[in-house]
Chains A and B, each alone.
Chain A
Amino acid sequence: MVAMSQVLPLVAAAYSERLTRRNNSELTQIWDLLDQVTDPEIPVLSIWDLGVLTQVEKQQEKLLISITPTYSGCPAMDTIAADISSVLTAAGYQNFSIKRVLAPAWKTDLMSPEGKAKLHQYGIAPPLLNENCCSGQCFSIECPHCGSLNTKTISEFGSTACKALHQCLDCNEPFDYFKNI
């Protein structure tokens, strides 16, 4: 088994494209402001890190914020939309709307490399890159506690839709894996 850090590029094309969109935007201060909005279930991740925040635009005088759901039934989306409203309102913006976009569908390759590092520190194994791995089963998942690659899947589903449950066979600790889709 090969350690994923040895062979995989760290940045996916899908993320690079989103980063370019942010860097070329004239509304940098809004993107920066929305870095305050975090995932209610994994609070170390901002909606930028997660890949949920996809676009910030201005239509006439109105700000248009586009977000895309991670999983169809993800209950966090309502909270995220409410949090975006609060942050914008608190910063003095009143004329805005939040649009939920379904296509292109969210995938873990949209996550930021910083976000993946934060997940790892938080004790959740970050998703592998889709472009390197079709089903997430051709590489071992690295234990976020001790770094061992000797791990097994306990359940394809964990405490939330986005996670699977794994266990380290060296340190014996169970851990969540943010599954790649």
Chain B
Amino acid sequence: MVSDMNEETKQAVLNYTIRLGDDAVVIGHRIAEWCRNAPFLEEDLALSNVALDFIGRARMFYGYAEELADDGRKEDYFAYMRDHREYQNLLIMELPRGDFAYTMVRQLLVDVFNLYYLEQLISSTDETLAAIAGKAIKETRYHLRRSHEWVLRLGLGTDESKIRAQKAVDDIWGFTHELFDLDELEQQMADAGIGVDNRSLQQDWSAKVKSILEEASLIVPEDSWKVKGGREGYHTEYLGQMLNEMQCVHRANPGLEW
């Protein structure tokens, strides 16, 4: 219960929750960019639905952040009124959507991560985070079923689809290490049984991703370069551009509801 938390814990849970909201809203927006741009109608609907799941997930986290903050900042504030330096999403979420293969490969890597992450978050001692995780994991299982199937189709499809899928894997791989990094806040939350120790997810994630990539006859890259910084607010140049587009209506008409 929020009312039982001391001020310090409340601030920590607030920051942790905002991060989870940031991850969801950023990837949700990236997927939503496919709306009316997807390769065919059914895929357009599917991507829009997945985007909606993520934006709904962001609303649950930001809604909880609103309750924790209890200072007048509403869910819309967290999504629309913060600059890129204040966003703390993982970098993999903000990468531009690229071509369809890039979008589906990123989705696979993120879906497998979310699967293991949410499985742990369900046992959070924080009731609200546990409830959100229980809701979100059902959707993630469904997302994964689809991203898995698409990566197989791309990897085992034409020469062109295979080349593009492999290029996507190679280009994104260096951003996956950040998923298993733990900073001070995350360590504190994991120790308190509120958050997840992401390092413990890496083995399962690697095994699952490798088996799917091999099934798709794609090559698992060697670990070489690694990028991180999202949790500290250091982003790629793409996030600022994305937020500019995502936030412009709200910033031009603050407080507008529709």
Contacts and interface: CB of A to CB of B under 8 A. Distances in A.
B131 A73 contact: no
Instruction: Identify which of A75, A103, A135 gathers the most chain B CB atoms within 10 Å of its CB.
Output: A103
A159 interface: yes
B145 interface: yes
A107 B142 CA distance: 13
B108 to A, nearest CB: 14
Interface stretch (A13-21, A25-33, A140-148, A149-157): A149-157
B142 A159 contact: no
B188 interface: no
A159 B56 contact: no
Contacts of A102: 60, 128, 131-132, 134-135
A104 interface: yes
A72 B46 contact: no
Interface in A78-134: 102-107
Interface size class of A (residues with CB under 8 A): 20 to 34
Given A72-B60, A103-B131, A157 B136 contact: no
Contacts of B146: 156-157
A36 to B, nearest CB: 26
Contacts of A135: 145
A40 interface: no
Contacts of B139: 71-72, 181
B229 to A, nearest CB: 28
Given A103-B130, A103-B131, A105-B138, A73 B57 contact: yes
A10 B232 CA distance: 52
B181 interface: no
Contacts of A106: 135
A139 B49 CA distance: 24
A181 B138 contact: yes
What 6 pairs across the A-B complex have the smallest Cβ distances?
A: A73-B56, A72-B56, A73-B52, A103-B131, A155-B42, A157-B46
Interface of B: 42-43, 45-46, 49-57, 59-60, 127-128, 130-132, 134-136, 138-139, 141-142, 145-146
14 contacts: A71-B56, A73-B51, A73-B52, A73-B54, A73-B57, A73-B59, A102-B131, A104-B134, A105-B135, A106-B135, A155-B42, A161-B53, A181-B139, A181-B142
